[in-house]
């Protein structure tokens, strides 16, 4: 049989299939539509088809004698409609560029000892540190914790923490991925002389699972998702439960364990293949009410030694009650438009109201009440042109902050104090009524281009910022160059200037004149080498950083710009994942040195008044370079994971040099018997070395279409007494230590369906 296959308008159809399935014989038409097919005598069912035409299926009869049969076929055209083809790829655990890291949602949830928090994952990266186990906040390459920029789906969040920094509001169930820059961040992101963390939440694309529920040592959670490519939704709920358990076990207990919750919902809609709209709402809150907070700390072994910090002076803080009430909401609207195969435009609008109430009621009646409302707008335009990747955009926000602060200055610095001086000795008191409006706008341009088939990449960026509160114009240029001598090697260098704004919402750092603080500035140069090939991956980065116009305490309880800083360090990491071996090993080490210098140096000491009498006050000294709290010289970590069938065992060991603090060098009394502690030079003492071993045992199993994960985790398995702060009792007769997390065995379970 031979002939031609044509469409209904007579056009030849090339590539049409002509087959007899019963015989397993087939042929294909050529470019002219001609075909030939050899068939035995008899009746056969013949089918003619091509994907974009309506198929024909008919009976043909081949006579017994050998013959040549001519038969043409006409196929009717049809629109090609196929279900959407979805391509998904998981992000690499580590970026190929030194100094930048990508974390998946699975990375965050499976971090050993990570307290289910993306911030703890960031703390485990090279060059990143924290003040203690109690803090989700982190410091990066010599910059303080205030100097980091944190974005949720393109919206800046100024204080995204529960319980004054213990953990973040980013429930692991809402995090699809997180991208972190320790240095060399592109011009699209600013507001940081430290690190930049970009958190992306679920809901932008269809989820791989319908839902899950679980109970861990931190919280209980429920997550669900649904929909298809055109529309869908994602929901996540989380709440701590320890306070409820305490009420059931001991209803008469008057203390309250800190509690927190967060809930997020997102919905998406694609009105056309080129447009996508996503709306989201995040609600978070936390609170506590603790009577006699120092006694509670002693009872829970956070204060060790035999010291009794509340005794000695005849005064007692037993009537004190520490209270916290924090509420945050993030509303977002995202519109993304494809302008062509190589261009897209994205617009993000956000509204972030937040309320923080923090008080110590009793002897002093200290309280902080702050409310802020922030409206943000961000627009990004990306264009791909041959070897160039262009990105332009702007971001801006308007923040209105109202508040009332009635507290001693030291009370506001409790979260990050590194001085052994007692709070009772710092008598400066704030009485502040806050009414601050800040407008901020930034425009940027970034051009990254590739040369020699990707062996060389160059990047330039420029960011211009206008701060309406401090009335500053800030210019931040960025440069980057990458050389790849082989496909698995990458040598990258960056240089850039960045700024971190001060007097942000929820930050209280007043000046004597009442004028707002200016932005801090950092100039950073980095050079890194990385290798990504097969089972062995690793990298090393070195950086040099200079800080200008740092904010420092120019006089007791008041701040000013003008401080200086310098930092340099080396960061290394190595990962081994043997093929077809159920083991993963990872090790990292970082060395760094950070110093700061204030324009004025003062400390509390005895001085003389105009009449020559000795009084307790401030004494000025010559400015000197000192170690700030973020100067952690050595950091080492090693992690091992072993999988056997449905079992998984993991261990994570951290070792680090102790953080610096300002010690008490002498104790003096006045004529009335009041005792005072005399501090030494800033950062001249050091806490003991830090060590912590966390263990995890996990079991997977499936029952009735539900995937179960049951795990046992032991935090601080060696029961190391890591010191957070050194303190003295009120009479300075005994010193005691505030320690971090004790040995803590925990159990958790999660079900996915």
Give the pair of three-digit tokens for residue 460.
Answer: 């330039």
Q: What is the pLDDT of residues 386-425, one digit of tens each?
A: 888 999 999 999 999 999 988 877 667 655 556 666 655 6
What the block records as the tokens of 100 is 């930048």
For 399-416, the three-class secondary structure string (H helix, E strand, C coil) is EEEEEEEEEEHHHHCHHH
pLDDT of residue 253: 62
Average pLDDT, 10 consecutive residues per value, the chain (753 residues)? 85 87 82 82 87 86 76 82 50 60 83 87 90 89 93 94 88 88 91 94 80 86 89 92 73 71 94 93 89 61 54 48 90 94 94 92 81 96 89 96 85 61 68 92 94 88 96 96 89 95 89 92 95 86 96 90 96 90 93 95 81 79 93 95 92 95 87 84 93 94 85 94 86 85 89 85
| All residues at 6 or more sequence positions from 87 whose CB lies less than 8 Å from its CB, including other chains | none
pLDDT digits (tens, 9 = 90+) for 594-615: 999 999 888 888 887 777 777 8
Q: What is the DSSP string of 114-144?
A: -TT-HHHHHHTSTTEE-S-TT----EETTB-
Asked if the 211-752 domain carries CATH number 2.40.170.20, the reply is: yes
Dig out the tokens for 745 from the structure: 């065995």
The pLDDT value recorded for residue 413 is 66
Task: Measure the N-to-C terminal CA separation of the chain; round to a whole number of Å.
Answer: 55
Domain boundaries, the chain: 2-77, 100-201, 211-752
What are the residues whose beta carbons fall under 8 Å from the beta carbon of 658, sequence distance 6 or more? 686, 687, 688, 689, 690, 723
CATH, range 2-77: 2.60.40.1120
Distant-in-sequence, close-in-space partners of 633: CB < 8 Å, separation ≥ 6: 591, 592, 593, 657
Could you give the 3-state DSSP secondary structure of residue 263?
strand
Strand positions, DSSP E, 417-471: 429-451, 456-467
Distant-in-sequence, close-in-space partners of 736: CB < 8 Å, separation ≥ 6: 303, 304, 305, 307, 309, 726, 727, 728, 729
The count of C-alpha atoms lying within 13 angstroms of the C-alpha of 29, restricted to the half-sphere facing its C-beta, is 27
3-class DSSP assignment, residue 548:
strand
CB 310 within 8 A of CB 729: yes
Segment 679-693, tens digit of pLDDT: 889 999 999 999 999
> What per-residue string of b and e applies to 122-141 under the rule 16 or more CB within 10 Å gives b?
bbbbbbbbbbbbbbbbbbbb
Q: What is the pLDDT of residue 280?
A: 95
The CATH number corresponding to 100-201 among 2.60.40.420, 2.170.130.10, 2.60.40.10, 1.10.10.60 equals: 2.170.130.10
Torsion angle in degrees (nearest 10) through CA of 333, 338, 339, 342 = 130
pTM: 0.83
Which pLDDT score, from 0 to 100, does residue 88 have?
47
**Residue 533, φ and ψ in degrees, nearest 5:** -155, 125
> Kind and range of the H or E element at 337?
strand 321-340
- Among 741, 742, 740, 726, residue whose Cα is nearest residue 309: 726
Long-range contacts at 463-468 (CB < 8 A, ≥ 24 apart): 463/187, 463/188, 463/190, 465/190, 465/440, 465/441, 465/499, 466/440, 466/441, 466/442, 467/438, 467/440, 467/501, 467/519, 468/438, 468/439, 468/440, 468/441
Do residues 348 and 333 make contact, with C-beta atoms less than 8 angstroms apart? yes
**Bridge partners (DSSP) listed for residue 73:** 5
CA distance 36 to 159: 74
Residue 513 phi, psi dihedral angles, 5° rounding: -85, -15
Residue among 631, 570, 579, 623 at smallest CA distance from 598: 623
DSSP code, position 577: -
What pLDDT score does 714 carry? 94
The three-point CA angle 99-105-106 to 5° equals 100
Q: Give Cα separations from 207 to 235, 268, 655, 688, 726 (angstroms).
A: 11, 12, 38, 46, 48
Residue 360: in which H helix or E strand, if any?
Answer: strand 343-361
């Amino acid at each position: 049989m031979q002939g031609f296959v044509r469409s209904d308008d007579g056009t030849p159809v090339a590539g049409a299939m002509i087959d007899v399935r019963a015989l397993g014989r087939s042929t294909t038409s050529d470019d002219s539509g001609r075909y030939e097919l050899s068939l035995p005598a008899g009746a056969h069912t013949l089918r003619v088809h091509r994907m974009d035409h309506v198929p024909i299926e008919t009976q043909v009869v081949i006579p017994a004698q050998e013959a040549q049969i001519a038969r043409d076929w006409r196929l009717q055209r049809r629109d090609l409609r196929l279900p959407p083809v979805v391509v998904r790829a998981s992000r690499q655990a580590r970026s190929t560029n030194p100094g930048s890291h990508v974390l998946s949602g699975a990375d965050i949830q499976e971090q050993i000892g990570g307290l289910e928090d993306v911030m703890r994952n960031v703390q485990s990266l090279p060059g990143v540190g924290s003040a203690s186990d109690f803090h989700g906040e982190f410091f990066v390459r010599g910059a303080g914790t205030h100097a980091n920029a944190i974005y949720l789906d393109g919206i800046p969040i100024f204080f995204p923490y529960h319980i004054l920094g213990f953990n973040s509001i980013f429930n692991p169930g809402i995090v699809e991925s997180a991208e972190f820059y320790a240095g060399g961040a592109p011009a699209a992101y600013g507001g940081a002389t430290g690190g930049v963390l970009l958190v992306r939440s679920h809901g932008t694309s269809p989820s791989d699972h319908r839902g899950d529920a679980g109970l861990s040592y931190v919280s209980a959670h429920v997550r669900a998702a649904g929909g298809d490519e055109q529309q869908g939704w994602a929901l996540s709920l989380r709440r701590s439960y320890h306070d409820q358990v305490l009420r059931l076990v001991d209803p008469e207990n008057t203390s309250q364990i800190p509690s927190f919750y967060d809930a997020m919902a997102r919905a998406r809609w694609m009105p056309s293949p080129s447009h996508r709209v996503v709306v989201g709402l995040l609600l978070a809150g936390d609170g506590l009410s603790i009577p006699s907070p120092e006694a509670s700390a002693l009872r829970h072994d956070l204060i060790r030694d035999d010291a009794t910090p509340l005794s000695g002076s005849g005064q007692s803080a037993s009537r004190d009650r520490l209270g916290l009430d924090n509420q945050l909401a993030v509303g977002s609207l995202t519109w993304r438009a494809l302008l062509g195969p190589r261009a897209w435009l994205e617009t993000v609008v956000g509204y972030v109201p937040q309320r923080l109430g923090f008080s110590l009621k009793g002897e002093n009646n200290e309280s902080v009440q702050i409310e802020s409302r922030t409206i943000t707008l961000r627009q990004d335009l990306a264009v791909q042109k041959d070897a160039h990747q262009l990105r332009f955009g702007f971001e801006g926000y308007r923040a209105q902050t109202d508040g009332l602060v009635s507290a001693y200055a030291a009370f506001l610095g409790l979260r990050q104090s590194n001085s052994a001086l007692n709070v009772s000795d710092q008598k400066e008191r704030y009485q502040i009524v806050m009414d601050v409006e800040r407008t901020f706008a930034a425009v940027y341009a970034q051009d990254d281009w590739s040369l020699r088939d990707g062996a060389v990449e160059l990047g330039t960026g420029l960011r211009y910022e206008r701060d309406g509160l401090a009335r500053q114009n800030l210019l931040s240029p960025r440069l980057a160059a990458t050389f790849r001598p082989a496909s698995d090697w990458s040598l990258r260098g960056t240089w850039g200037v960045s700024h971190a704004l001060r007097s942000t919402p929820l930050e209280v750092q007043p000046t004597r004149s009442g004028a707002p603080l200016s932005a801090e500035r950092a100039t950073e140069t980095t050079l890194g080498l990385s290798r990504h090939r097969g089972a062995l991956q690793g990298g090393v980065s070195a950086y040099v950083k200079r800080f200008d116009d740092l904010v420092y305490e120019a006089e007791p309880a008041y701040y000013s710009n003008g401080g200086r800083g310098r930092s340099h360090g080396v960061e290394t990491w190595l990962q081994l994942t043997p093929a077809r071996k159920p083991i993963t090993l990872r090790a990292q080490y970082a060395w760094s040195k950070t110093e700061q210098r204030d324009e004025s140096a003062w400390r509390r000491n005895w001085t003389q008044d105009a009449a020559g009498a000795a009084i307790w006050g401030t004494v000025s000294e010559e400015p000197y370079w000192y170690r700030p709290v973020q100067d952690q010289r050595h950091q080492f970590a090693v992690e091992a994971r072993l999988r056997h069938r449905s079992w998984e065992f993991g261990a994570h060991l951290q070792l680090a040099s102790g953080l610096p603090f300002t010690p008490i060098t002498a104790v003096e009394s006045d004529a009335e018997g009041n005792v005072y502690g005399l501090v030494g030079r800033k950062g001249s003492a050091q806490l003991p070395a830090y060590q912590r071993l966390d263990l995890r045992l996990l079991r997977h199993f499936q029952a009735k279409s539900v995937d179960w994960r049951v795990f046992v985790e032991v935090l601080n398995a060696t029961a190391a007494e890591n010191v957070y702060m050194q303190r003295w009792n009120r009479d300075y007769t005994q010193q005691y230590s505030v320690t971090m997390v004790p040995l803590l065995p925990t159990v958790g379970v999660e079900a996915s369906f």
